[in-house]
Amino acid sequence: MMALESPIHVPVLLQEVLDHLVLPPAARVLDLTLGLGGHAEALLAKADAETRYLGVDRDPEARARALQRLGSDARLTIMGCAYEDLWDEPQFLAWQVAQAPGGFDAILADLGVSTLQLRTPERGFSFRDAGPLDMRMDPEHGLPARAWIAEQTDESLANAIYQYGEERASRPIARAILRALHEDRLETTRDLARAVYTVIPREPAKRKGHSDPATRTFQAIRIAVNGELDRLAASLEAAVAHLRPGGRLAVISFHSLEDRIVKQTLRRLAGVYDGPGRTSPVVLPKLVKLVHPGGIAPSEAEAAVNPPSRSARLRVAERLL
């Protein structure tokens, strides 16, 4: 575990989140991805003394950092849990009955990995430094990336890389990765990147200013290892069900796959039919209204100061009844 020094994750779309989650007096706030508490700190700074803020994260190291940063604030409760599992957790149910029986005024989900996770080589998320092939957001549960890869066939690995990484060279990359595994050359994140480079050499991409050829494969394996998209739609539906009328859900996604799920789920909850044909075969209930239906992108100024924010999209839905 890294030494607990100053936070290194810059909250994305912070002003836009503050503009769209305006907290009433005695607000009840649920932060599904507390991370290092950047958004939480800013939201709490705008909230009154009666506000209660529940921050959830599946990563023990993130929770330790958030605790170090915000632990003295009695309005905050921190819970270790994957948000997909939150809704039936006894600890959550007890907190909700005691603190937010009428539902939440604001729910925030800032999806994906934090810079802390990406920049800590021992967590195994990054191809820039050699680390163990892990990639679990919660290192206490699930299979590390190497063990997950060892369970794959050429076809299942290629499918995951294609589906979650939108990588066109998924088949030869999957074969190269499994070859490296069977020849005992797949221990570290660098080994994984090296296997990708045997299919897409690094130099031309670097010279042309493109992203590293390993980026899409790393994204894909990380999404698969953490089951990141498996229950996202259901979690957003559950979040909306926990809003009080007029309460808002704000979701920040970081890549097009994630954003597509967020967009489609919120549109469906807003009663918009996206299926084939011109009209819906059934009348969809209209639980929310979409605030900025096109989503909100970071300003040019933010993208210039914090380049990883460039791909972020914020979508906001307001509960109607």
Residue 57, interface with ligand SAM (CB under 6 A)?
A: yes
247 scored as a contact of ligand SAM (CB under 6 A): no
Using an 8 Å Cβ cutoff, are 319 and 287 in contact?
Answer: yes
Q: How far is the CB of 321 from ligand SAM (least distance, A)?
A: 28
Q: Given the rule CB under 6 A, which of 57-65, 139-147, 154-162, 298-306 is the region that contacts ligand SAM?
A: 57-65
Strands 28-31 and 243-253 come out as unpaired
3-state SS class at 261: helix
Q: Could you tell me the smallest distance in angstroms from the CB atom of residue 127 to ligand SAM?
A: 19
Question: What's the sign of the alpha-carbon dihedral 90, 96, 102, 106?
Answer: negative
- In the shown chain, the binding pattern of residues 195 to 224 toward ligand SAM, with x for contact by CB under 6 A and - for none, equals ------------------------------
246/261 Cα distance (integer angstroms): 23
Cα 140 to Cα 138: distance, rounded to the nearest angstrom: 5
Nearer to ligand SAM, 62 or 236 (CB): 62
Q: How far is the CB of 262 from ligand SAM (least distance, A)?
A: 13
The CA distance from 35 to 57, in Å, is: 6
> Amino acid identity, residue 232?
L
3-state percent helix, strand, coil for the chain, nearest multiple of 5:
45, 15, 40
Q: Sheet holding 288-296: strands in order across?
A: 76-80, 52-57, 28-31, 104-110, 243-253, 313-319, 288-296
92-111: contacts with ligand SAM (CB under 6 A): 110
In angstroms, the Cα distances linking 178 to 133, 162, 181 are 14, 16, 5
* Residues in region 126-145 near ligand SAM by CB under 6 A: 137
Window 295-314: contact mask with ligand SAM (x via CB under 6 A): --------------------
Among 51, 96, 114, 126, contact with ligand SAM (rule: CB under 6 A): 114
Give the nearest distance from C-beta 89 to ligand SAM in angstroms. 11
Token pair in block for residue 293? 């239906």
- At its nearest, how many Å lie between ligand SAM and the CB of residue 205? 26
**Which x/- pattern, by CB under 6 A, does the window 58-87 give for ligand SAM?**
xx--x-------------------xxx---
Shortest reach from residue 62's CB to ligand SAM, in Å? 4
Least distance in Å: CB of 258 to ligand SAM? 11
CB nearer to ligand SAM: give 8 or 272: 8
What is the x/- site pattern for ligand SAM, positions 12-51, by CB under 6 A? ---------------------x-xxxxx------------
Strands 28-31 and 104-110: parallel
Specify the residue, 11 or 142, whose C-beta has the smaller distance to ligand SAM: 11
- Give the distance between the most distant pair of CA atoms in the chain: 61
Instruction: Give me the residues paired with residue 314 across strands.
Output: 252, 296
User: With respect to ligand SAM, which residue has the nearer C-beta, 46 or 182?
Assistant: 46
Buried b / exposed e over 42-81, threshold 16 CB at 10 Å, is bbbeebeeebbbbbbbbbebbbbbbbebbeebebbebbbb
Give me the least distance between CB of 11 and ligand SAM, in Å please.
3
**Which residues of the shown chain bind ligand SAM in the complex (CB under 6 A)?**
9, 11, 33, 35-39, 56-59, 62, 82-84, 110, 112, 114, 137
